[in-house]
Structure 1
Amino acid sequence: MSAPPSSAPRWMLYGASGYTGQLIAEEAVRRGHRPVLAGRSREKLAPLAERLGLELAAVGLEEMRGLVSALEGLPLVLHAAGPFIRTSESMVQACLATRAHYLDITGEIPVFENTFHHDAEARARGIALMSGVGFDVVPTDCMARYVAERVPGAHELDLAIVFSGQASPGTAKSMLEQVPSGGRVRRGGALLPWPMGKGLRRVRFTDAERTVAPIPWGDLVTAWHTTGIPNITTYMALPRAAARVVRFTYPLLQRALSVEAIRHGAERLIESRMHGPNETARNEHHTQIWAEARAPDGRRAQAWLELPEGYAFTAVAAVRAVEEVLARKPQGALTPAGTFGADFVLSIPGCRRLDALP
């Protein structure tokens, strides 16, 4: 793995004034970087820029001329302004125009798919487009590659996550945007609808056996590109009773949030009521991931990963991804593990991978 740059280049962190953006900015400065802090509101950016001693650029994503001008001379953008389904395409286009690498911290399936649609353009421009360089999807993508490499010819991949802590406003709004699309699985290489709450199973994690339910996680796209495995299911640990409630109430929620006015009202409520986890919570909470790859002949491999709280992980992983892209200069639409390898996650402090449980 490459070390932090000796003379840190300037790059842009867009969405720097948001909850996760601020954590990334602080981590970047700790690692010797000098990112330009960017976003729509100068008023929101100014206190952070002053505190960290960094430049700022106030420009909206709809202002393509101003965005391109702000990017001139910068080698890379780390995009942290969600919901990404609304914001990523403008920044991708600006990066293509200025030959700047594009990274983001999305977990939204349509955004991953859109990023890969720009693969040929990115290669022609000599830049990398890489979505999901935070908790979504660095740890799961690395685990997918790890177990897949132990089972050549695998045709099934399962990934399961145990969350702890609370969501930030940005994460909650991104989740709202995905509700109308419903559940998903990958079968035979294609993304297919899947009823939320259906397909419960039991998975042994490092601390306990838990009930998990299929969810539409970003690895349904990224793990497919990283491993080529055609059948992928992504799970989240839920109390069995909660999973059953989800199965019966999700269609109602799905229909309600398909109405734009209701969805925007919910987003305003989130902005006024929700806050991301504080520093104590980020230090105390932890997350677990389980992965299994299976081949038609019965061969299989499992692995487990213990890692820090999700937002704390994202801040470090995103800056590490910036460092790797600037050092390697990869080209095309890429995944974290496909580019940096299965062990990239182990470069994040506090991550421990296990091949077997006691």
Structure 2
Amino acid sequence: MNPPTNTPPRWLLYGATGYTGVLIAEEAVRRGHRPVLAGRSREKLAPLASRLGLESVAVGLDDARGLVSALQGLPLVVHAAGPFVHTSEPMVQACLSAGAHYLDITGEIPVFENTFRHDAEAKDRGVVLMSGVGFDVVPTDCLARYVADKLPGAHELDLAIAVVSQASAGTTKSALEGLPSGGFVRRGGHLRPWPMGKGVRQVRFLDQERTVMPIPWGDLVTAWHSTGIPHITTYMAQSAAVAHALRFTFPVLRRLLAVDAVRGRLARLVESNVRGPDEQLRQTGYSQVWAEARAPDGRRVAAWLQTPEGYAFTAKSTVRAVEEVLASERRGAFTPAQAFGADFALSIEGVRREDAPA
């Protein structure tokens, strides 16, 4: 699918020099877009802008006027600078002030909740606010919507992911910020604390059965908005040994990471030493998602998705989301599946969906 108009789409990509930001910029150019690259450092932006033949602007997130000024004449922002729990709100406010759409690639629960708190403002300003347009959470959100649509009246939803890849520095730093909050599930429509390591189980994925453990994935917010199902648990595949060990070690880890100095030191180590998957792994890695919806009368519907490697998927899905938003008349805060439907994930090259046997 080509971009929606013959004029190359122009929009702002903030955090363009980060690991995922670079991939998004490259995919945008490949699809005929001309994003303006943005971030704090002019020195870091210049080589990327030169290589891709794009404009760039250096502005910090603490410069509210500068952000609004950078958005003048641009209809949309893709925000790719994390940890989003610290960076999202300034950009959301700039977008509301400038009348620009806001998209980000977060997987952080507080950010999703905050985005939806601005729904009325977004409608008043005539813009879309949408968090999670990458691997966090497009595949899971779309599969949740798919099984929910096939089982009206479902009251329970389980989602599980299995990833063959490795995390970037940005993803790892975001995880460090979220760990002190602990685990969560959704029960009766409300987020509830859940001990890390509790609820380990087996799930059949497309290729094999895997051990999974509950984790506080963004779908605890997005799937609630996309499906209305009140009881949601999100899982990640993990070795049985690690999953069971976390039940005993996580309380100590959580107390350590609650100390700002410890978390800051670890974040600096991550920034210096974590690079994310190389091109070969982005080409060969993959992810799988499983979802099951259950109704009170015992009926069940389950399905799987297989996607390209998570960061490769994020670059593609982000640019596709940009195209969909720019071509639509939607206004307000949305999840990807709310705005684009359960089949949006299938519009990404290399994604396939399979129904579980009835």
| Structure 2 unaligned regions, length at least 5 | none
Q: Which amino acid aligns with 1:252?
A: V
> Matched residues in 1 for 2:22 and 2:68: separation?
23
Letter in 2 for 1:187: R
Q: Report matched runs for 1:31-50 at 5 Å.
A: 31-50=31-50
Give the superposition deviation at 1:166. Answer: 0.9
**Do residues 227 (structure 1) and 265 (structure 2) align?**
no
Match runs of 1:192-271 below 5 Å: 192-271=192-271
| Structure-1 separation of matches of 2:196 and 2:47 | 42
Matched with 1:55 is 55
**1:319 is aligned to 2:352:** no
Instruction: Give the conservation status (yes or no) of the 8 Å contact 1:4–1:31.
Output: no
* Percent identity of equivalent pairs: 72
Secondary structure in structure 2 of the residue aligned to 1:342: coil
Instruction: Check conservation: 1:16, 1:39, Cα contact below 8 A.
Output: yes
Q: For residues 215 and 357 of structure 2, what CA distance do their matches in structure 1 show?
A: 25
Q: Report how far residue 300 of structure 1 moved.
A: 1.1
The answer as to whether partners of 2:140 and 2:219 remain within 8 angstroms in 1 is yes
What CA distance in whole angstroms lies between the structure 2 residues aligned with 1:284 and 1:106? 24
Q: Which residues of 2 match residues 83-98 of structure 1 at below 5 A? A: 83-98=83-98
Q: Counterpart of 1:20? A: 20
Quick check: 1:141–1:337 contact (8 Å CA) kept in 2? yes
CA distance in 2, matches of 1:4, 1:332: 21
Q: Residues 1-358 of structure 1 correspond to what in structure 2 (within 5 A)?
A: 3-356=3-356
Which residue identity does 1:214 align to in structure 2? Answer: P
Distance in 1 between the 2:14 and 2:210 partners? 38
Alpha-carbon shift at residue 5 of structure 1 (Å): 3.1
Whether the 8 Å contact between 1:4 and 1:32 is mirrored in structure 2 is no
Question: What per-residue deviation string (whole Å, max 9, x for no partner) do you get for residues 207-251 of structure 1?
Answer: 111111000000000000000000000000111111011111111
Secondary structure of 2:298's partner? coil
Q: 2:129 & 2:291 partners in 1: Cα distance?
A: 26
2:13 and 2:170 mapped to 1: Cα distance?
A: 16
**Is the contact made by 2:3 and 2:31 (CA closer than 8 Å) also made in structure 1?**
no
Provide the C-alpha distance between the structure 1 equivalents of 2:345 and 2:2, rounded to a whole number of angstroms.
13
- RMSD across aligned positions (CA): 1.1
Q: Paired residues, what number?
A: 358
Q: How far apart, in 2, do the equivalents of 1:324 and 1:73 lie? A: 19
Render the CA deviation track for 1:4-63: whole Å, top value 9, x for unaligned. Answer: 432122100000000000000000000000000000000011000000000001000000
Report if aligned partners of 1:160, 1:212 keep a CA contact under 8 Å in 2. Answer: yes
| SS of alignment partner, residue 349 of structure 1 | coil
CA contact (8 A) 1:2 1:327 kept: no
User: TM-score if structure 2 supplies the norm length?
Assistant: 0.99
State the alpha-carbon separation in 1 of the partners of residues 25 and 3 from structure 2. Answer: 18
The CA deviation at 1:356 is 2.7
Instruction: Tell me, in whole angstroms, the C-alpha distance in 1 between the residues paired with 2:135 and 2:39.
Output: 22
Rounded to whole Å, the distance in 2 between the matches of 1:115 and 1:36 is 23
Q: Are the aligned partners of 1:161 and 1:237 in contact in 2 as well (CA < 8 Å)?
A: yes
Q: Is the 8 A contact 2:290 2:302 kept in 1?
A: yes
Amino acid in structure 1 at the alignment position of 2:42: R
Q: Which amino acid aligns with 1:119?
A: D
Q: Is the 2:2–2:31 Cα contact (8 Å) retained in structure 1?
A: no
Deviation of 1:195 after TM superposition, in Å, equals 0.2
Q: 1:344 to 1:124 in 2, by over 3 A?
A: same
Q: Partners of 1:206 and 1:170 in 2: how far apart?
A: 29
Q: Which residue identity does 1:65 align to in structure 2? A: R
